[in-house]
Amino acid sequence: MAEKKKMLLYFLADLMSDDVVMDRFLEDPEGMMHDYDLSEQQKATLYSLDPLRIGSVVGAEAQLGLENAVLSPQWPVPESRVRGVEPRRVPAEVVPAFRLFGEGLMRNAEVVLRPVQGKGPDLVYVARDSSGSFQETELCVREMDLSRAAPGRYRVCVRNFSGATLIENAVELEVA
């Protein structure tokens, strides 16, 4: 079973159910999150105050917790998905480092930016850098050139390699 620490889900649950925890959080957010061993990705998600983004992470943790604990032997492997990106809002220029957080993502995967409004072609980049484990993967696109991207919202999708099924997610990038 997943440890209680290291999960945003438990942190939020304690925060909402225990006023002492809430008081400590308001007094020292960083210290409190450190006590729960939250990762930089989890902290950034919380600080975003974006319900969709927080919900996505918490949902993934809940699913993993359930899968790992009881409901499934997680056999053979969990599904691939993107849980978050950093940054989430960028100017239409070259982005030095665009990071994706998720699971089951491959090094050299294609990162596909699909206009939410359905206008314009997909923008495709390759994430040559990767780190972490299967279930906590971080991919990075270096020098992502968005100088010709139309302003607007883009759905961040991934294709693990050219020709693989597109992994569609609710995660978005806004090009200002």
Number of Cβ atoms within 10 Å of the Cβ of 23: 11
Q: How far is the CB of 148 from other proteins (least distance, A)?
A: 23
Cα–Cα distance, 105 to 15 (Å, whole number): 31
The minimum distance between CB 112 and other proteins, in angstroms, equals: 13
Report CA-CA distances (Å) from 126 to 70, 78, 98, 130.
Answer: 37, 23, 11, 11
83: left (phi over 0), alpha (psi -120 to 50) or beta: alpha
CA-to-CA distance for 160 and 105, rounded, in angstroms? 6
Between 2 and 126, CB nearer to other proteins:
2
CB of 96 to other proteins, least distance (A): 21
Quickly count: other Cβ atoms within 10 Å of residue 8's Cβ.
22
Choice between 62 and 115, CB closer to other proteins: 62
Would you say 118 or 163 has its CB closer to other proteins? 163
| Pairing mode of beta strands 94-103, 81-86 | antiparallel
**Nearest residue (CB) to other proteins, 67 versus 122:** 67
Shortest Å, Cβ 81 to other proteins:
9
Q: How far is the CB of 52 from other proteins (least distance, A)?
A: 10
Residues that bind other proteins (CB under 8 A): 1-3, 9, 12-13, 15-17, 22, 25-26, 29, 46, 48-51, 54-55, 58, 62, 65-66, 68-80, 88-89, 104, 106-108, 130-135, 159-161, 163-165, 167, 174
What are the angstrom distances between the C-alpha of 39 and each of 97, 108, 136, 163? 19, 24, 11, 33
Cβ distance to other proteins smaller for residue 53 or 123: 53
